[in-house]
Structure 1
Amino acid sequence: MTVPVITIDGPGGSGKGTITQMLARRLGWHLLDSGALYRLTALAAKRQGISFNDEEGLVAAALNLDVAFEPTAPGEPVRVLLAGEDVTGDLRTESCGDDASKIAVIQPVRDALLQRQRDFQKMPGLVADGRDMGTVVFPDAPVKIFLTASAQERAERRYRQLKDAGVGVNIDALLEEIRARDERDMNRSAAPLKPAEDAQVIDSTGLSIEEVLDQVMALAGQA
Structure 2
Amino acid sequence: MKHFLVAIDGPAGAGKSTVARRVADHLEITYVDTGAMYRSIAWKLLREKVNAADEAAVTQLAESMTFALDPAGICVDGTRLTDEIRTPQVTALASTVAKMAGVRRALVRKQQEIAERQSVVMDGRDIGTHVLPHADVKIFLTASIEERARRRYKELLDKGISADLESLKEDICRRDENDRTRQYAPLRQAEDAILIDTTNQSISEAVEVILQLCRNKLGGEE
Say whether the fold is shared (TM-score over 0.5): yes
| Whole-angstrom distance in 2 between the partners of 1:67 and 1:124 | 15
2:48 aligns with 48
| Inter-partner Cα distance in structure 2 for 1:159 and 1:185 | 21
CA distance in 2, matches of 1:214, 1:39: 28
Q: Which residue of 1 aligns with 2:130?
A: 136
Q: Secondary structure at the match of 2:195?
A: strand
What are the ranges of 5 or more consecutive residues in structure 2 without an aligned counterpart?
A: none
Larger mean Cα displacement after TM superposition, 79-88 or 32-41: 79-88
Contact 1:30 1:120 in 2 (8 A): no
- Superposed, 1:3-18 pairs within 5 Å as 3-18=3-18
Structure 2: how far apart are the matches of 1:61 and 1:124?
26
Unaligned runs of 5+ in 1: 72-77
The 1:124–1:68 alpha-carbon spacing in structure 2 relative to 1, beyond 3 Å, is closer
Question: Is this contact kept in 2: 1:3–1:121, CA < 8 A?
Answer: no
Q: 1:121 aligns with which of 103, 107, 115?
A: 115
Shift of 1:35: 0.9
Counterparts of 2:152 and 2:202, CA distance in 1: 15
| Aligned pair partner of 1:161 in 144, 155, 163 | 155
What displacement does 1:124 show?
A: 5.3
- Give the share of equivalent positions with the same residue, in percent: 38
Query: Is 1:92 matched up with 2:86?
Result: yes
Higher helix residue share: 2
Which digits, 9 at most, give the CA deviation of each residue in 1:59-97, with x for residues without a partner?
1111121322211xxxxxx42222332321111112212
d(CA) in 2 for partners of 1:12, 1:94: 13
Tell me which moved more, 40-49 or 206-215.
Answer: 40-49
1:21 paired to 2:15: no
1:218 to 192, 212, 215: 212
Q: TM-score, normalised by structure 1?
A: 0.92
Q: Secondary structure at the residue paired with 1:52?
A: coil
The alignment status of 1:203 with 2:184, answered yes or no, reads no
- Write the distance in 1 (CA, Å) between the matches of 2:67 and 2:105: 17
Shift of 1:109: 1.1
Q: Could you list the runs of 4 or more consecutive aligned residues of structure 1 that deviate by over 6 angstroms after TM superposition?
A: none
Shift of 1:44: 1.5
Q: TM-score by structure 2 length?
A: 0.92
Shift of 1:214: 1.1
Give 1:122 shift: 4.9
What does 1:74-93 align with in structure 2 at a 5 Å threshold?
A: 78-93=72-87
Give SS of 1:119's match.
helix
